[in-house]
Amino acid sequence: MVGKSKAMEAAKEIVIKTEPFVVNFGPAHPSTHGVFRMRMTLDGEVIVDMEPVFGYLHRGIEKLAEERTYTGCIPLTDRMDYLASMSNNFAYVLAVEKLAGIPVPERAEYIRVIMAELQRIASHLIAVGAFLNDCGAFMTPFVYMLREREKILDLFDMVCGQRLTYNYMRVGGVSQDIPDEFIPALKKFLKEMPGWINEYERLLKENEILLARAKGVGILSRELAINISASGPVLRGSGVKWDIRRADPYSIYDRFDFDIPTGTVGDCYDRYRVRIEEMRQSLRILRQAMKGLPPGEARSDVPHLIRPPVGEAYARIEAPKGELGFYLVSDNSIAPYRFHVRAPALINLTALSDMMRGWKIADAIIIFGSIDICMGEVDR
Amino acid sequence: MAMQMLPPDWPGNFWAHWAIFTVIILVFVLATVMVFIWFERRALAIMQARLGPNRAGPFGIFQPVADALKVMLKEDIVPAAGDKIVHWLAPVVAFVPVLMVFAVVPFQGGAILADLNIGILYVVAISSVTVVGVFMAGWASNNKYSLLGAMRQVASVVSYEIPVVLSVVGVILLAGSLSLQQIVLAQDIPFILLQPLGFLLFFIGALAEINRTPFDLMEADSELVAGFHIEYSGMKFALFYLVEYAEALVISAIVATIFLGGWRGPFLPPWLWFLVKVGLVFFVIVWIRATLPRVRIDQLMALAWKFLFPLALLNLLITAVEILVFPAVSPWVLVGVNIAIMIVLVILWSRLFKLGGGRVNV
């Protein structure tokens, strides 16, 4: 009896104490979409604080570009958002054309729009697939979407011989005209793609578990989204109808008829829905662009070494991940004096810590996945 | 149908019976697990529009053999700061109980190692021991991911055992025995028809118990990388891999035995019927894995305590009432009634759930 009461007294003295602990996610982790690193302070499963650490993929692209000719910078832009190289090319050549005042033939404009919209679909396929994979749908949606991305890559392969780093657009046009077999292949793709999108929708759109996991999770409020200058599907998911193709039309986007899908509350599910709807809208633009494609030159007469007048220019496009902008300063030499990129993925990431706080580890992964980043662009 | 109620005298005496059946079970489990690994990878691949293993042997059937050889040659790494003894013991503690469960599974009438009169209780009790091994692994690795995975596992098993056991009680009431052999003999109509709700609850709970999608939280590839076995390599990792599939085999065998009528069926030989049913259940598990996303830990708990647990109690009550009050009613009438009750209850109860949300203020 004496022993027992002593033990009970000892037990009373033990106070169960919990304290937050730090877990390191990444840079090598299956769900970090590259080499992102998160230092999470956890209380059990709940995230108390999250500190993003990036820079693991920094290659100094902005500095490298200052040593190259204006045309020589195009391959560098391929390596930024490597899931959407065409869009990067597009934004960059727009900036150079604005800086040097170079005209673009009509046909090249149409080809550029076709490429940019195909690229948007390809990038959203990866974004949605990876997001669903993060939710735990073991690879199935991801592989389905890769299957369709593969068809887009085949189309790109046709026009420029590359599958990842296209280097297709040139200042004043595109590197070469599209081959004869491209348009029939594009027609076939446009005919089949809506069915495939419906297939993804049938698989998971109304799935109870996905709704439970993604609805109301990781809400990015409208005010916060605007304050951090988020853009792209992240901003539109929060209910802001802002699309540069409409708000500040570049190239020939003012000629096309398309809707801007928006979400309502700004949760992960809304961002997922916005991406799926945008794919459908891109198909609409593609159909119109294919119909309107005029004959003619695919590239205007541009000197080999471009020497823009002294000055600066900023061109922006609606890239798959948001507003992608290039800011160039020229000192009338053959290389840009300053080359700055407004990377949408980096800026969309700034709200990550606020979005994650209070959620569980499992939620943190899908919140991160729903932002859709590409480390090549974040770190540059 | 003249069935033997007790283990047959063949092959002569108790020790010979024991030795032969132990060898048969060991070979059966290991061979079936290999086939299952191949089958899962192949079936998943076909569902995901890819090829899957197709190099080693016809249709890649020898891929698990190649994997096993590879894994045996791998270096065995123990974390420097880990608990060496527990780290070594954990795979064994996890693996042995899974094997032991097969002692009471009847492969056909009389083909059973030990026809325990508490068979189903034994299954429920022994299969839970695996969790101890998993928790040991998570603790001994001295890794935060492992610990998180192991804690998720312990928490979920505590919640899931109760509805699983309660849904089995319905079957026991119908069969009037705990012996798996007697349960099979009692199934003139497979219990999946007489106990549709019980089957559903048992299957959901079982998925959580063996950590298959959508309840694979403890390994959660996209969150915890590999969960409790993140620090394991070589043969120890292979043992955990075996456990995973052997557990799936156990659950398939138990579901086939207590809900699908075990070895009973027309035309085919009984043992083949049993294998076909086991394979069918496993196929459904693979199918679910290819389709569904993963739930979150608090949603898993909510599902266990707010959905499965009350429904399991109701199911028990309904079964008891049917047996006591309407013993003379034809079972086929009860089949219709039970299926209707299941549909109504599941729809009503799922209305109570709020989807999404779940933020904690910090």
> Is residue B1 in some structural domain?
no
What is the end-to-end Cα distance of chain B in Å, rounded? 65
Show residues of chain A in contact with B293, CB under 8 Å: 132, 135-137, 204, 207, 209-210, 213
CB contact under 8 A, B362 and A361: no
CB contact under 8 A, B214 and A136: yes
pLDDT attached to residue B347 = 83
Q: Which residues pair with A299 in a beta bridge?
A: A173
pLDDT attached to residue A206 = 77
Residues 249-268 of A with CB under 8 A from B: 267
Show residues of chain B in contact with A134, CB under 8 Å: 222
Contacts of A184 (CB under 8 A, 6+ apart): none
Show residues of chain B in contact with A272, CB under 8 Å: none
Distances from the Cα of A210 to the Cα of A23, A136, B299, angstroms: 26, 9, 12
> Is residue B9 in some structural domain?
no
CB contact under 8 A, B223 and A363: no
pLDDT attached to residue B4 = 46
Amino acid, res. B342 = M
Residue A327's domain comprises 55-379
Across A68-78, average pLDDT:
88
Q: How far apart are CA A170 and CA A89, in angstroms?
A: 8
Domain count, chain B: 1
Asked if B221 reaches chain A (Cβ–Cβ under 8 Å), the answer is yes
Ranges under pLDDT 70 in chain B? 1-14, 110-111, 218, 220-222, 355-358, 361-362
pLDDT attached to residue A14 = 67
Distances from the Cα of A367 to the Cα of A145, A378, B193, B223, angstroms: 20, 17, 42, 12
CB contact under 8 A, A209 and B293: yes
CB contact under 8 A, A136 and B356: no
For the cut 60, the answer to whether the pLDDT of residue A273 exceeds it is yes
CB contact under 8 A, B362 and A216: no
Residue B51's domain comprises 14-351
Asked if A36 reaches chain B (Cβ–Cβ under 8 Å), the answer is no
Which position has the higher pLDDT, B230 or A3? Answer: B230
CB contact under 8 A, B223 and A362: yes
Domain count, chain A: 1
Asked if A45 reaches chain B (Cβ–Cβ under 8 Å), the answer is yes
Q: How far apart are CA A82 and CA B82, in angstroms?
A: 40
By CB neighbour count within 10 A (0-12 exposed, 13-18 middle, 19+ buried), where does B271 fall?
A: middle
How wide is the angle at C-alpha A206 spanned by C-alphas B148 and B200, nearest 5°?
65
Show residues of chain B in contact with A30, CB under 8 Å: 221-222, 225
- Residue whose pair of structure tokens reads 């999250």 in the numeric block: A50
Give SS3 for A265: coil
Asked if B306 reaches chain A (Cβ–Cβ under 8 Å), the answer is no
Q: How far apart are CA B47 and CA B148, in angstroms?
A: 31
CB contact under 8 A, A30 and B289: no
Across A246-275, average pLDDT:
87
pLDDT in tens, A176-191: 888 888 889 999 999 9
Asked if B288 reaches chain A (Cβ–Cβ under 8 Å), the answer is no
> Is residue A190 in some structural domain?
yes
Pairing of the two strands A169-170 and A46-53: unpaired
CB contact under 8 A, B214 and A209: yes
For the cut 70, the answer to whether the pLDDT of residue A13 exceeds it is no
Asked if A216 reaches chain B (Cβ–Cβ under 8 Å), the answer is yes
Across A265-282, average pLDDT:
89
How wide is the angle at C-alpha B157 spanned by C-alphas B151 and B159, nearest 5°?
110
CB contact under 8 A, B48 and A207: no
Asked if A191 reaches chain B (Cβ–Cβ under 8 Å), the answer is no
For the cut 60, the answer to whether the pLDDT of residue A342 exceeds it is yes
Q: Mutate which of A209, A273, A357, A366 to test chain B, going by most B C-beta atoms within 10 A?
A: A209
CB contact under 8 A, A140 and B47: yes
Q: Mutate which of B40, B41, B44, B48 to test chain A, going by most A C-beta atoms within 10 A?
A: B48
CB contact under 8 A, B223 and A138: no
pLDDT in tens, A188-224: 999 988 888 888 888 777 787 888 888 888 888 888 8
pLDDT attached to residue B209 = 82
- Encoding tokens for residue A194? 């809506």
A-B contacts (CB, under 8 Å): 121
A314 pLDDT band, cuts 50/70/90, is: very high
Q: Which residues pair with A38 in a beta bridge?
A: A25, A52
For the cut 70, the answer to whether the pLDDT of residue A129 exceeds it is yes
CB contact under 8 A, B221 and A138: yes
Q: Minimal CA–CA distance to B151: which of B300, B307, B308, B362?
A: B300
> Is residue A233 in some structural domain?
yes
Distances from the Cα of A35 to the Cα of A54, A162, A379, B174, B347, angstroms: 8, 24, 10, 57, 44
pLDDT in tens, A235-253: 998 888 888 888 888 888 8
pLDDT attached to residue A327 = 92
Where residue A92 sits, what CATH number does that domain have?
1.10.645.10
Asked if A217 reaches chain B (Cβ–Cβ under 8 Å), the answer is yes
- Rounded to two decimals, the ipTM of the complex is 0.78
> Is residue A25 in some structural domain?
no
Q: How far apart are CA A294 and CA A165, in angstroms?
A: 27
Asked if B218 reaches chain A (Cβ–Cβ under 8 Å), the answer is no
Q: Which residues pair with A39 in a beta bridge?
A: A24, A51
Nearest by CB: B356 against A134, A215, A358: A215
Asked if A132 reaches chain B (Cβ–Cβ under 8 Å), the answer is yes
pLDDT in tens, A16-58: 677 778 888 878 777 777 788 888 888 878 888 888 888 888 8
Q: Mutate which of B44, B51, B144, B294 to test chain A, going by most A C-beta atoms within 10 A?
A: B294
Asked if A199 reaches chain B (Cβ–Cβ under 8 Å), the answer is no
> Is residue A14 in some structural domain?
no
Stated as kind and residue range, the H or E segment containing A38 is strand A37-43
pLDDT attached to residue B2 = 43
Contacts of B353 (CB under 8 A, 6+ apart): A212, B302, B306, B307
> Is residue B97 in some structural domain?
yes
B356: left (phi over 0), alpha (psi -120 to 50) or beta: left
Asked if B224 reaches chain A (Cβ–Cβ under 8 Å), the answer is yes
- How far away is chain B from the Cα of A362, in angstroms, using its nearest Cα? 6
- Residue whose pair of structure tokens reads 């056909």 in the numeric block: B108
Asked if A276 reaches chain B (Cβ–Cβ under 8 Å), the answer is no
CB contact under 8 A, A213 and B359: no
- Encoding tokens for residue A308? 């823009």
Asked if B294 reaches chain A (Cβ–Cβ under 8 Å), the answer is yes
> Is residue B357 in some structural domain?
no
> Is residue B359 in some structural domain?
no
In chain A, how many H helices and how many E strands?
A: 16, 8
Asked if B297 reaches chain A (Cβ–Cβ under 8 Å), the answer is yes
Contacts of A165 (CB under 8 A, 6+ apart): A75, A78, A79, A82, A85
pLDDT in tens, B227-280: 778 788 888 888 888 888 888 888 898 888 888 887 877 887 878 888 888 889
